[in-house]
Amino acid sequence: MKIVTEYNENVNIRITNDKHLDISLINSELNDLGMINRKEASNEIAKFAILNYGDIDNVTTISISYLIYKNYIIYQYSFRMDNYNYKKENNEWISMGSFE
């Protein structure tokens, strides 16, 4: 997807039930930003996905998550810093806020 090249990040993109678009930024430089700046970045990423994802007409919700992931010899560690959600109502995308 274009979002990987646009934001030059380690991004995991999943579609669930053809209705939910989940975008996870893993070990992103955006993790170092404050919560307000991550929210602004999430708004921009959501807008970019809406404009560039081919099957966006079928999508009803978008989640954007910021993750920290570390792989150690014995175990793996992951932590979700922030999660921003958007939903489509009457063909308009609205923010559902952040869930930490």
pLDDT confidence of residue 7: 67
Query: Strand, coil or helix: what is 11?
Result: strand
Tokens representing 66 are 């910021």
9-43 pLDDT per residue, tens = 788 889 998 899 999 998 888 888 877 888 999 99
pLDDT at 98 over 70: no
Assigned fold of 2-90: Alpha-Beta Plaits (3.30.70)
In whole angstroms, give the CA distance from residue 73 to residue 15. 30
Burial of 24 (0-12, 13-18, 19+ CB in 10 A): buried
In whole angstroms, give the CA distance from residue 100 to residue 88. 21
